[in-house]
Structure formats: structure tokens, C-alpha cells
């Protein structure tokens, strides 16, 4: 009985999470603009999506800002994590609390603060302000992912590389970087995801020519959301699902190969 109850509870959770997405995907194939009346199957909304300059430009802006912001945030966050890791205990604790404050801080406070800062320094709102604001809230997520890998690493690894003839630069790239690379990749992916997903901070810092996809969709809700947005959301969901499947299959294959090699050695 307990097993049946747990499975039923799990099914309800998945239904709650994915039912709205399923409705969205179904409506992307609905010939009618209505979200409640099915009038027939069509691919017209996908065709119209390719000719909708507003949505395509907004998608391009979103991907451009996310790529630049996550890359810069990864570089800054990795360097910051290494610096924090080498601090003494009390200063490290203080800096970490300050670093994690933007994560805990409500996004609307961060957005308004950045907007007032850009107004104070008389910066024109556009791609520059948008990218700077995205870098600001992405850096803590990179630090959050890189620091645990630094703690797991042997502290003597860098010194050992130096003793074996490496200079400081090559010792870092050959000994330290491979050890913390999983954390760097995870931090980059988190920064990329949060940047693409962000709306509130972007809303306060974007310019006339730097509208992101979330802002464009929000603007549409004041009138009526076009079914082309359903088509775009369905495509994004399919792409993300495909990436997850490929990564899981690759990891499963690597684990299988590792077990086979271990078995052959035994």
C-alpha cells in the first residue's frame, strides 16, 4: 500500500509540473488562436514564428546576452573563487556572506538598484547595461559551484606541480584547472540558464533595442499572447529535452565503459 501511495504521489507531482507544458505544446498545433477550443491540427504557427521579426530578434538578444554574460561571469567567478579559497578563515567567511547576498536578495531589489546605479553614472540603457546586470547576478552562482571543487582538491597539488618544474601559470593550467573544471562547467551552465530565464532584472535595465524574449512575451500579455510563442516554447522544450537525453546517454555509456575496464583489470 505504501508503495502504491508513493507512486501516486510522485505521479501527481509530475502532473503538476508538466501538465502546463503539455497544454502549451498541444496549443502550438491548434489551428485556432483560442486556448480552449480545438479546431484542427496545423503547423502554421511554426511557419509564422520564422517570419516574426520581433520574437526572432528578442530570441537573438536573449542568447547573445546570455552567452556574453555567462562567459564573463565564469571567468570572474572562477578567479574570485580561487581568491576566496586562499583567504584566511574570518575574511573568507565575510566575503562569502557578501558574495551570496545577491542570491538571497529579491530580484526586484537588485533590478531597481542596478537601474538607479546606471542612471546615477548616466549610462544609456541598452546591451551594455543589460549584460552588466546579468554578469552581476551570475557571478555568485559560478563561485558557488567552483568553491566546492577547490575544497575537494588536494592543497599540495599546486606546490607539487611547481616542485616538478612548472612555472605558476603552467602549474595552474595543468594541475589546478583540470581538478576544478567540472565546477567551472556547472557554474557556466547555471549562469547561462539563469541569464536566459531572467525577467525582473532585465526589465529594469534593458534598452529600446535590447529587448529579451521574456520582456517581449510580457509585453504581449497586455494584449493577447500569440500562438507563435507556444511554438517557440515547444521548440525550446524539445531542444532542452534532447540535450538532457544526449548527456544522460553519454554518462551512462561512460559508466558502462568504466565498469567494463574495471572488470577487465580485476
Per domain, the residue ranges of the chain are 1-52+227-266, 54-225
Q: What is the enclosing helix (H) or strand (E) of 88?
A: none
Task: Give which of 75, 81, 109 is closest to 95, Cα–Cα.
Answer: 81
The per-residue pLDDT for 172 is: 85
| pTM, to two decimals | 0.82
d(CA 66, CA 71): 8
The per-residue pLDDT for 164 is: 79
d(CA 240, CA 193): 11
- CATH code of 54-225, in short, is 1.10.3720.10
Which residues make beta-bridge pairs with 30? 41
The per-residue pLDDT for 262 is: 62
Task: Return per-residue pLDDT of the chain as tens, 266 residues.
Answer: 677 888 888 889 988 888 888 888 888 888 887 777 788 888 888 888 888 888 888 889 999 999 999 999 999 999 999 999 888 888 888 888 888 888 888 889 999 999 999 999 989 998 999 999 999 999 999 999 999 998 888 878 888 888 878 888 888 888 888 888 989 988 998 899 899 888 999 999 998 888 888 888 888 777 677 788 888 888 888 888 888 888 788 877 877 777 776 665 55
Task: Give which of 64, 70, 85 is closest to 135, Cα–Cα.
Answer: 70
Query: Tell me, what DSSP letter sits at residue 125?
Result: S
The per-residue pLDDT for 263 is: 60
Looking up cell 549610462 gives 123
The per-residue pLDDT for 255 is: 76
Looking up cell 552581476 gives 136
Amino acid at each position: 500500500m505504501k508503495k502504491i501511495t508513493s507512486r501516486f504521489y510522485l505521479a501527481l507531482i509530475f502532473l503538476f509540473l508538466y501538465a502546463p507544458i503539455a497544454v502549451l505544446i498541444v496549443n502550438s498545433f491548434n489551428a485556432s488562436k483560442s486556448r480552449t477550443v480545438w479546431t484542427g491540427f496545423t503547423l502554421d504557427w511554426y511557419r509564422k514564428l520564422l517570419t516574426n521579426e520581433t520574437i526572432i530578434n528578442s530570441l537573438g538578444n536573449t542568447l547573445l546576452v546570455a552567452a556574453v554574460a555567462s562567459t564573463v561571469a565564469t571567468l570572474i567567478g572562477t578567479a574570485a573563487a580561487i581568491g576566496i579559497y586562499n583567504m584566511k578563515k574570518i575574511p573568507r567567511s565575510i566575503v562569502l556572506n557578501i558574495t551570496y547576498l545577491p542570491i538571497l536578495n529579491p530580484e526586484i531589489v537588485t533590478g531597481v538598484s542596478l537601474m538607479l546605479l546606471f542612471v546615477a553614472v548616466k549610462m544609456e540603457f541598452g546591451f551594455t547595461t543589460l549584460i552588466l546586470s546579468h554578469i552581476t547576478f551570475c557571478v555568485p552562482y559560478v563561485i558557488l559551484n567552483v568553491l566546492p571543487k577547490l575544497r575537494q582538491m588536494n592543497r599540495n597539488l599546486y606546490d607539487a606541480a611547481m616542485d616538478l618544474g612548472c612555472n605558476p601559470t603552467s602549474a595552474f593550467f595543468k594541475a589546478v584547472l583540470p581538478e576544478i573544471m567540472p565546477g567551472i562547467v556547472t557554474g557556466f551552465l547555471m549562469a547561462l540558464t539563469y541569464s536566459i530565464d531572467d525577467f525582473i532584472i532585465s526589465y529594469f535595465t534593458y534598452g529600446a533595442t535590447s529587448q529579451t524574449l521574456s520582456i517581449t512575451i510580457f509585453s504581449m500579455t497586455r494584449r493577447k499572447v500569440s500562438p507563435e510563442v507556444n511554438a517557440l516554447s515547444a521548440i525550446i522544450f524539445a531542444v532542452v529535452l534532447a540535450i538532457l537525453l544526449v548527456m544522460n546517454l553519454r554518462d551512462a555509456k561512460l559508466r558502462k565503459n568504466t565498469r567494463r575496464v574495471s572488470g577487465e583489470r580485476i
